[in-house]
Amino acid sequence: MQLGRVVGTSTSTLKHPTFESERLLIVQLETAAGGPDGEPVLAFDRLGAGRGDRVLLTNDGAALQKLLGPNTPGRWSVMGLPDSK
């Protein structure tokens, strides 16, 4: 699990069949101190996060396969929206 901040959304005219009707966010992963941690990632979102929201992500392939199907090439998904302070 890792915290990140939503920096945008992604759209595609051509995508893997398991991505149909799924919402994709562009998320900047964060370090424990709140700074950027590497390049932004694409994450599947079924919780309704928006630009600027902090999100809790997982890269657990088994969890994403339960949502999208066993053949999905997806990696990251939003699993929670932490309280803001």
Is the domain covering 2-80 a CATH 2.40.50.220 domain?
A: yes
Question: Does residue 13 or residue 23 have the better pLDDT?
Answer: 23
Cα 75 to Cα 8, 18, 30, 46, 61, distances in angstroms:
17, 12, 17, 14, 6
pLDDT of res. 78: 96
In terms of residues, how long is the chain?
A: 85
- The answer to whether the CB of 56 falls within 8 A of the CB of 79 is yes
Task: Give me the mean pLDDT over the 10-27 stretch.
Answer: 92
Side-chain half-sphere exposure of 13, counting CA atoms within 13 A: 0
Q: What is the pLDDT of residues 30-84, one digit of tens each?
A: 998 989 999 999 999 999 999 999 999 999 988 899 989 999 999 999 999 997 6
Token readout for 17 is: 């069949």
Domain ranges of the chain: 2-80
Distance between CA atoms of residues 59 and 57, nearest Å: 7
pLDDT of res. 49: 96
